[in-house]
Each structure stands twice: as C-alpha cells, then as structure tokens.
C-alpha cells in the first residue's frame, strides 16, 4: 500500500485533498475542535501510547519556533483561546527527513506565520498534537504525519 | 521517539482513493511494474521469488558473488504485526509476513501467547526508546537501506522507522565471536549457491518482534537468506528457531526493491525525551527483554497454574 497517494503542487509540497475536507468544516483562528474519528482497536503502538488516535483536534495559531530535527520535527506555536488568553501548543511531525523529502522547507513555516494544524491530542491533556496536516495562510496544505508509502 | 514504531495513521485512512476500509486486511502491498515478481504482498512475492531464483542472473562482484550493493527500499509491513492485521486508525494493515507455517500464524506456545498479550498491555515497543530492533527486526522495520559489499563483508546502513539501523556481516568464514549479548547479535554470512545465508547468535532479545508483544529469547537462532532474483529485487527470508517460545520454527519473507537515491542521517535521540515523558505519564515502561532461562521458568509457572 502507499503507492500514488501523494500529490505535489507546483512548489513541490505534498497536498492531501482528502485531508483538506476534514479541515474545511472546522472553526477559525484560536478555535480548538475535537472530532471523534473512525473506530478502531487501540493496538500498542508508540504514537497511540502518547496520543489519542481516536480523536482529532484542530488548532490555529502563529508559529513561535520550528525544530527541523529527527526522528520527529517539532513546532511550537501560540494559540488564543475563547477568553483571549494565549496558550503555547507543541506539534510533533514525522521526521525532518520525511518533511524535506515531501517538499517542506523552512520558508514555508516562518516565525509569526498563521497556520492551522490538525492532529491527534496528547493523552495526558497537555497542549500537544501529533500532526496530520498543516494548512498555511495561503490555503495550501502540508501533510506532516506518517505515510505508508514512505515506510 | 515514536515514529520508529509508527504505524497506521488516522489521516491516512482519508488519504487517496485506493485505501481499504478500516478494519479490513489489505491483500495488496503494491506492485512493481517490470519485475519478474511484481506483487509485493508477502506470500505472493515469496512463492514467485522461489521460482524466479532458479533462473536469476544477478549482478555480480569481481569475485563472482551476487552483488547486493546499492540502495534498497523495504517492502514489508510486519512491524505492527507479523501476522495479518487489519487497517485501523492506528495501523497500516497488511497480510501476514509469515510464509512458514503456511497458515501465516505464529506457532507460539500457549504461555508465550499469553505473555505476548501482557507485553502488549504493559510495555512500550522498544523503538519508542531508541532501542535497536534485532537482526531481522532491523530488516522489516527500517524503511531505506544502503548495502555495501566486498569479499569479506556486507555492511548495511539504514534510515527511517528503526533506531540506528546498521549491520556488519562478515562473509569470510570466521567463527562467531562467542557469548557477547548484543542488540543485533553476532552474525556470520556464508554462501549457499547464489543465496547469502546469515546466521545470527547472541542477540540479547531485549526487543519485541512486533507491536503485538511477540518476542523471542536470547537463545533464539535466526537465519536470514538474501537472494537477488533480478537486478532490482532481493528475496529476503528470516527463520526464527526458539523452542523456548515457539512450537516450531517459523519463516517470514518479503521483498527489497532497488529504488531509493540515497539515505540520510536520522538521529534517534534528538526528540526522545519529550515523547518518553508522554509515555511514562501514561504508565508504560520499556520492554525489558527475556532470556531463555526466564522463559522456561515462566512456562513452568504458567503450566503449573493451568
């Protein structure tokens, strides 16, 4: 499995049209939305140990920092909640190598840029996500999760 | 560090148009057009490769041995489960990688089957802690490899999913080192015709075979076979023989395809501390491994309790 599932745009970015649909219906800046996801057994995988893969959370905020490191790139960004207070969220992605191979570059994620990230929330309730997709201000999307075609 | 054990991802269930429905077991792992054995599905590929090997004309070294040098992509999805496993939000899903026994099921002893369930409930997969995967586990977990071969050694380095994937396999007939328990053990390669046979002893068994808690002991004998069935395809097999845990030996098989341009550094420790904090917060510990002596004691205790 995994062949032919990536779609690159003119900038070499990987786009996932199906994921776009999952984001389109979510609320705007500062909002956090949680969705029940497809049911499935919780096998003992490392991602599932730390993150709830039965739920998805979408967060919009501004980038504070992006660490291009392996085996998981990490981003911190600032989110304003309904009360106008700011929270710092941390997003874990697949490896920096994978992101680079997909066409992700540092110019796509400058400090201060507004992004929307959809992913799986940390089981301990902290402000952390394991990211599936990042939507940039221009509407383009970058898939940051794990792809079977790359494994 | 968690990507090294990462499997199915909910997002991927929505990704593309040819995905199987969640809960189904995929029967196809993709095809490679132009290959003498195009279907990557483990059992289908294995059966084809056995026949193709009889007429193979692989590239050869100056010494006349099949030349495995180059870049390879693993085409197996066994690290979640060696047996057939359905696609879920947490699992890519795949048919069984086990080709012997033919039913695709692991021949586990009853106590070991129960212990596997306990392992899966209690312990983190070793890769989450940046721990090596063992000789065969390195092969079915690591995504990309570079093989370098000369008359005396086959050296493998890899990238993605496995922690620090490298193996150094002497081919010159030297004896095993002796009992020094190592993560990837003490391998020795020999040629059986055009097949490279690698026997590994003295692996420490401090890792799980898959994310279902399956395991071996430090007394297991692991024999791998590498056969170039054409320039671009390796038929890989690994036979595990561990009477402490299994009722009989079993064999997994899959393909390596030659299609990655290069591999890159992928250090494991850089983000280990943060994911481990989450795992520990949720009550998990790293799998401690098991010796043959411990296995025999656990089997006796289990049988006494029945």
Question: How confident is the model over B168-204, as pLDDT tens digits?
Answer: 999 999 999 887 889 999 999 999 999 999 999 999 9
User: What is d(CA B60, CA A104) in angstroms, rounded to the nearest whole number?
Assistant: 39
B209 phi and psi angles, rounded to 5 deg: -75, -30
Pairing outcome for strands A128-135 and A86-92 = parallel
CA terminus-to-terminus distance, chain B: 39
DSSP category for residue B14 = T
| CB of B185 closer than 8 Å to CB of B264 | no
- Residue B293, both tokens: 């002596």
Q: What is the pTM of this model?
A: 0.80
pLDDT for the residue B2: 36
Which pair of tokens denotes residue B30? 């993709």
Q: Per-residue confidence at A13, pLDDT binned at 50, 70, 90?
A: very low
* Per-residue pLDDT at B130: 84
Nearest chain A CA: its distance from B223 CA (Å)? 24
B42 vs B64: CA distance, rounded Å? 29
pLDDT in tens, chain B (306 residues): 333 333 222 222 222 223 334 455 555 688 999 999 999 999 999 999 999 999 999 999 999 999 999 999 999 989 999 999 988 777 888 999 999 999 999 999 999 999 999 999 888 888 888 888 999 999 999 889 999 999 999 999 999 877 788 999 999 999 998 878 899 999 999 999 999 999 999 999 999 999 999 999 999 999 999 999 999 999 999 999 999 999 999 999 999 999 778 899 888 876 567 677 777 777 788 888 999 999 999 999 999 999
Is the CB of A50 less than 8 angstroms away from the CB of B2? yes
pLDDT in tens, A59-114: 999 999 999 988 888 999 999 988 999 999 999 998 888 899 888 888 888 999 99
Following DSSP, what letter does each residue of A13-68 receive, concatenated? -EE-HHHHHHHHTS--TT-EEEEE---------HHHHHB-TTEEEEEEEEEEEEE-
Beta carbons of B9 and A146 less than 8 Å apart: yes
Touching B: A residues 3-62, CB under 8 Å: 3-5, 16, 18-19, 21-22, 37-51, 53-54, 56
The total number of residues shown for chain B amounts to 306
Q: Quote the ipTM score.
A: 0.73
The tokens describing B56, both together, are 């193979």
The candidate with the shortest Cα–Cα distance to A2, out of B146, B204, B13, B212, is B13
Q: Do B88 and A132 touch (CB under 8 A)?
A: no
């Amino acid at each position: 499995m995994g062949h032919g599932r990536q779609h690159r745009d003119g900038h070499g970015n990987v786009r996932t049209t199906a994921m776009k649909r999952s984001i389109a219906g979510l609320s705007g800046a500062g909002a956090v939305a949680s969705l029940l996801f497809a049911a499935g057994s919780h096998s003992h995988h490392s991602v599932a140990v730390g993150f709830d893969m039965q739920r998805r959370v979408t967060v919009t905020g501004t980038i504070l920092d992006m660490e291009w490191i392996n085996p998981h790139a990490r981003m911190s960004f600032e989110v304003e909640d309904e009360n106008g207070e700011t929270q710092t969220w941390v997003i874990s992605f697949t490896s920096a190598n994978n992101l680079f191979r997909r066409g992700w570059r540092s110019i796509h994620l400058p400090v201060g840029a507004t992004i929307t990230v959809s992913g799986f929330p940390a089981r301990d309730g902290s402000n952390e996500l394991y990211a599936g997709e990042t939507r940039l201000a221009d509407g383009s999307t970058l898939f940051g999760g794990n792809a079977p075609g790359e494994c | 560090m968690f990507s090294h054990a990462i499997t199915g991802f909910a997002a991927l269930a929505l990704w593309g148009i040819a995905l199987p429905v969640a809960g189904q077991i995929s029967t196809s792992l993709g095809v490679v057009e132009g290959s003498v054995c195009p279907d990557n599905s483990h059992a289908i590929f294995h059966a084809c490769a056995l026949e193709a090997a009889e007429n193979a004309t692989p590239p050869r070294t100056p010494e006349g041995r099949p030349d495995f040098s180059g870049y390879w992509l693993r085409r197996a999805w066994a690290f979640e489960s060696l047996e057939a496993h359905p696609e879920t939000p947490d699992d890519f899903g795949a048919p069984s990688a086990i080709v012997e026994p033919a039913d695709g099921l692991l021949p586990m002893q009853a106590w070991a089957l129960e212990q596997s369930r306990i392992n899966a409930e209690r312990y983190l997969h070793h890769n989450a802690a940046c721990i090596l995967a063992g000789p065969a586990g390195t092969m079915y977990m690591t995504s990309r490899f570079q093989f370098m071969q000369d008359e005396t050694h086959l050296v493998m380095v890899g990238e993605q999913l496995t922690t620090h994937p490298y193996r150094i396999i002497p081919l010159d007939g030297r004896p095993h080192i002796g009992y020094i328990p190592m993560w990837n053990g003490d391998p020795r390669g020999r040629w059986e015709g055009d097949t490279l046979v690698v026997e590994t002893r003295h692996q420490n068994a401090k890792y799980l075979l898959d994310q279902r808690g399956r395991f071996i002991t430090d007394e297991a004998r692991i024999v791998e076979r590498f056969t170039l069935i054409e320039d671009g395809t390796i038929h890989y097999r690994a036979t595990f023989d561990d009477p402490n845990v299994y009722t009989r030996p079993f064999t997994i098989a899959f393909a390596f395809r030659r299609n990655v341009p290069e591999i890159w550094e992928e250090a494991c420790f850089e983000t280990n501390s943060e994911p481990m904090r989450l795992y520990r917060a949720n009550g998990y510990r790293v799998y401690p491994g098991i010796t043959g002596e411990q296995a025999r004691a656990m089997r006796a205790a289990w049988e006494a309790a029945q």
